A = this chain, B = another copy of it.
Amino acid sequence: MNAVAIVGYGYWGPKLARNFAQNGSFGRVVICEEDPARLARGLRENPGSAGARSFADVLKDPDIGAVALATPVASHVPLALAALEAGKHVLVEKPLATRSADAEHLLRAAAAARRILMVDHTFVYHPAVQRIRALIQSGELGRLNYIDSTRINLGLFQHDVNVLWDLAVHDISIVNLFTSERPTTVQAIGSAHPPGPLASIGVLTLRYASGLFVHLNCSWVSPVKIRHMLIGGDRKMIVYDDLNATEPVKIYDSGVVARTDEERSRLMFEYRAGDVYSPKIAPKEALANLVADFAAAVHDGKPPLSDGRFGADTVRVLEGAERSVTGAGREVELTWS
């Protein structure tokens, strides 16, 4: 009952297989892939792994206690449901689903089956992201005012989802990790270049009851690659540049303070630009951390960080963004139970 099956050996499956093998806490790694050439490659690249030609074989195998789904988005819900019903723990590649109702259905199924449902929001396990989260939670930034992220590059166009589901999904999961608050509204707008049904440029804004403002800028058609996030607190601010190999996180002792000028009876602003501090970030691979978290959940019952609820929250924001995009950027209200 201790083997894990990697389902799908396309782009993401090989990374999962390698990390599950290196993790070592699962008895065996089974690669499930219908394409014979891909399956052969998977077995060659993962010495000691076993193969399965169909998902049905995985479900029937009593030795397989957990599955990791690395299949197209549209298949996430049916495959995860079947796996849960067969008594397997499930790790699903992001996004968990494309509709909130489906995500909630999966959550109920996992609860009923008493199995772990976890979503592969890899960035949540990135050491830089976790360091920033710790800084926010420690109060060092003060109250969060805004988060502004630019995630642009040339390609790769997805064929089933637009750029928001492909790129903004990362930022939404990061933002959801940084704060336990959930947005009250989402507003988004998209544009397709070259012309087509799926937006290759997407702009998304979120508002929160606390005043937090989030802006995400995503593109598949930028000549340069940028992974740049600003996190503004009222005490300090952070720049997180994921492409800066040596100093990805910089903490700025900078800020703006408003005070009322009694004499002139109007607001005055004071700026403060101080030292900059860049903590050493451990180079450990995010996916290894994620697999370890899944293993701890499966083996020891420890609640995972990126659990089904976390994944469903992310879907809810993207679903709202989708409605806003089709509504010409109209602000969409989000409700959280």
Contact = CB atoms under 8 A, between A and B. Distances in A.
Contacts of A280: 253, 273-276
**Majority-rule SS of A interface residues:** strand
Nearest to A213: B191
Nearest to A274: B280
A240 to B, nearest CB: 12
Interface string A230-253: 101010011100000011000011
How many copies of the chain does the oligomer comprise?
4
A321 interface: no
Nearest to A278: B276
A23 to B, nearest CB: 18
Given A159-B267, A329-B331, A224 B205 contact: no
A193 B267 contact: no
21 contacts: A47-B47, A146-B221, A154-B273, A155-B271, A157-B256, A159-B266, A187-B189, A193-B211, A193-B234, A195-B211, A205-B329, A222-B230, A222-B237, A223-B230, A223-B273, A224-B230, A246-B276, A275-B278, A275-B280, A328-B330, A329-B330
Given A154-B256, A222-B232, A223-B273, 14 more contacts: A145-B221, A148-B152, A152-B230, A154-B254, A155-B256, A157-B269, A193-B213, A194-B258, A201-B215, A223-B238, A277-B278, A278-B278, A328-B331, A329-B330
